[in-house]
Structure formats: structure tokens, C-alpha cells
Structure 1
Amino acid sequence: MKKVSFLIQFLVNPKTVGALLPSSSFLGEKIIENIDFKEAEYIVEYGPGTGVFTEKLIEKRDPMTKILLVENNEKFYTLLKEKYRETNNLFIVYGSAENIERYMREYGIPYVDYVISGLPFSSLPTSVSSEILSNTAKILKEDGQFITFQYTKIKKVFIEQFFTKLEMKREYRNFPPAYIFSCTTSKK
């Protein structure tokens, strides 16, 4: 399998690749720690990059749980397609998370239990971020979660406006240290 340099992708695409290095396994563990893998039927991951979180999702999920990856970087998309070509119930889309509802229809996914995101909201245009977060709130089932990480708290208030509840944690063992936002929306 061809190796894709995260650093080179960051330098070439700084607005869509939000870091110099892939996320640490410590951050990966903290991102997925609240997922109920026994109950989750549908999980979406925005911006999986090289698959650090994807690996953990595949390892812990029920084999019947469907995972949909949405990657906007062509090199990472190609890497993921090759890396997971034999993985059942894993679908990989080359496109933008703005179009999540269309991708869900294409793969017969009626709702989502969890959305994991590695998207750099601080460098995305506000209109794109708004569309992604608004659509994410729509697709989550009752008490579903949107879990994202950011390197600063700059977008916390912005992200919070799309959800009814946001809890924040910090992972210092990542480079750079990261904030994890776990967001839920009540549909009542």
C-alpha cells in the first residue's frame, strides 16, 4: 500500500488538512470512549485522514454496524479505499461532509447514532461549517452524538449553537493537545 505523507498533505491543503501529524492513539481513545458499540447501528466519520479513528471504530464495533467515511482529500481517500477494501459494512465516499444526507441515501442509512469528526472547523469557511453542523444535527437520532476535536476553543460557541448540549474534555498527550467536544441534540 502506498504511503501518504500527512505533513505534505497539510502543506498542500492547509485549509482542509487541519494538522501536521495524524491524531495520536490517546486522542483516538478519548474520541470513541463514549460510544455505545453494542447499540450503535450507524456511525459516520468526517475527515478520517489516514484512518486513526477509523481503526478504533472498526476494532470495537459490532460487525453489523455500518460505518460511512467521508473524505475530501483525494490522497487520503485513495489510501482509505486501498486500506479497507476488504472490510465489510464500511463505505468510503470522496466528497464533502456538507452532502452527508445524499451519501446516507446512497448507502441506505436512515439515521446516525454517532458522527466522529476530524474536520478543522477553525480553517473551514463559516458557511461550509454551518452547513455541515446543521446537517449533522438533522441526521443524528434522538440522543445521538457528534464528537469532534479542535486544537483551540475558538469554535466552541459556534459549534454549540447547533446542538442542545456540549461537553468538553482535553487530551494533552496529543501533539498538539486537543479539545474534544461531545455534542447532542434533543429531538423533542
Structure 2
Amino acid sequence: MANISTLVQEKFIFLHTFIRSPKAVGSITPSSKFLAQALTKSIPWDSIGAVAELGSGTGPVTKQIKLAAKPHNRIILFEKDPVLREQLSVRYPEYACYPDACQIRSAASAEGVGQLDAIVSGLPFFNFPEQLRKQLMDEIAAALKPGGLFIAFQYSLQMKQLLSRYFHIEDIRLVPINLPPAFVYVCRKKEQHP
């Protein structure tokens, strides 16, 4: 019964956050378990060190990260909304949680991490102004090690052109069991980016 109550509470909080800031949230409901699994299964957890999650929200992807991660992995979360960030800090006290995804490198440095092996993102990039999208892409690319993975979900293929400037897009998967259905981009950092 507690799990159902928690799930309903998470959906309510997420919906409330969406109503307050629809462009920052991008969806009326949290990511499904299937989407969270699709985001984390491309990460070679045994052979990497540090991973960041952007736009952690109520934590459905964070939960999947915790299930997949190995004891040696360092996880850093980013969530802009202060209420959601506080809840993440309570639910995942072992993970550092920061407010600004435009400051990935400084947060990683504060955690004693150099460049990241992978970044997982649920940010609704296409809802953001063009300047913010570019700033985020620059920061993500700079924060990743050479050959690092960027795995993001979007609700359309509109980000394909921008992502291809920074990354080799290795795969795009449709996850139909999500509301709305989502595309997962599996990308690898290019040697040179804009």
C-alpha cells in the first residue's frame, strides 16, 4: 500500500511542478520504468566512474540508476526545482544534488570528480530558448571525457540536428510505454565539437 501511496504522491508533485513551470518540466507525468531502463541500460557500469543525471525530477530515472550502478560509481544529480531537489536529497542521500545543469563541471569538481564518463538527461531541451540549449550542450560536451556517453530522452526527433553537432548519435530508440512515448538518444562525445 505504501508503494501505491508514494507513486500517487510523486505523480501529484510532478503534475503540480508541471503546472507551475511547464516549459521547465516538459511532461505532465514522471518517466515510466521502461523509459528509465532504456536510459540506463547503455551505460557500461562496470567500467566507468562518474555519471550525472540532469533533470532528476521525482527520481524515476535516479531509482533505475541506483539499481544499475556499482559501488565504485559516483553519481551526481541535477534538479532545478527546490522542492524536488530536497526530496531527491532525502531519498538518495548518497548522491550529491545540484540546482543548475549549466554548472556540471563546477559541481563535478566540488565532488572531487574530473570529467564524467556518462550524462543521462531528462531535460526538455526543445522547450528551452536557443541560447540556453546551446549553453547546456556546450557544458555537457565539456563535462564529458573523450568518448563519454550522453543519453537523453526527448518527445520528438527535433534535437537530432543539434545533438549531431556535438556527438556521434549511436542509436535512437522509441520507448512506446511512456506517457507520452519518448525517443532515447544514445550519443558519444566527438573529438571536436563546435
TM-score by length of 1: 0.92
- Return the alpha-carbon distance in structure 1 between the equivalents of residues 92 and 36 of structure 2: 18
Aligned counterpart for 2:35 among listed residues 22, 27, 31:
27
- Return the alpha-carbon distance in structure 1 between the equivalents of residues 38 and 148 of structure 2: 17
- Return the alpha-carbon distance in structure 1 between the equivalents of residues 104 and 56 of structure 2: 14
* Residue aligning to 2:60: 52
Give the length in aligned residue pairs. 184
**Alignment of 1:138 onto 2:142:** yes
* Residue aligning to 2:154: 150
For the aligned residue pairs, the C-alpha RMSD in angstroms reads 1.7
Determine what percentage of the aligned residue pairs are the same residue: 28
- Return the alpha-carbon distance in structure 2 between the equivalents of residues 56 and 40 of structure 1: 17
Native 8 Å contact 1:160 1:166 kept in 2? no
* Residue aligning to 1:92: 97
Native 8 Å contact 2:169 2:185 kept in 1? no
Instruction: Tell me the alpha carbon deviations over residues 106-131 of structure 1, each in whole angstroms, 9 at most, x when there is no partner.
Output: 11110111100000001111111111
| SS at 2:70 equivalent | coil
| SS at 2:24 equivalent | coil
- Return the alpha-carbon distance in structure 1 between the equivalents of residues 127 and 172 of structure 2: 20
Letter in 1 for 2:183: Y
Aligned counterpart for 2:49 among listed residues 41, 47, 69:
41
**Alignment of 1:127 onto 2:110:** no
* Residue aligning to 1:9: 17
- Return the alpha-carbon distance in structure 1 between the equivalents of residues 158 and 115 of structure 2: 29
| SS at 1:48 equivalent | coil
5+ residue gaps, structure 2, are: 1-5
Native 8 Å contact 2:151 2:185 kept in 1? yes
Aligned counterpart for 2:117 among listed residues 110, 113, 121:
113
| SS at 1:161 equivalent | helix
5+ residue gaps, structure 1, are: none
* Residue aligning to 2:84: 76
Give the CA deviation at 1:43: 0.4
Give the CA deviation at 1:164: 3.3
- Return the alpha-carbon distance in structure 2 between the equivalents of residues 68 and 138 of structure 1: 16
Give the CA deviation at 1:166: 4.5
Letter in 1 for 2:109: R
Q: Structure 1 residue runs of 4+, over 2 Å off?
A: 164-167
TM-score by length of 2: 0.89
* Residue aligning to 2:188: 184
* Residue aligning to 2:3: none
| SS at 1:122 equivalent | helix
Letter in 1 for 2:184: I
| SS at 1:38 equivalent | helix
Aligned counterpart for 1:102 among listed residues 80, 102, 106:
106
Native 8 Å contact 2:52 2:118 kept in 1? yes
- Return the alpha-carbon distance in structure 1 between the equivalents of residues 83 and 16 of structure 2: 11
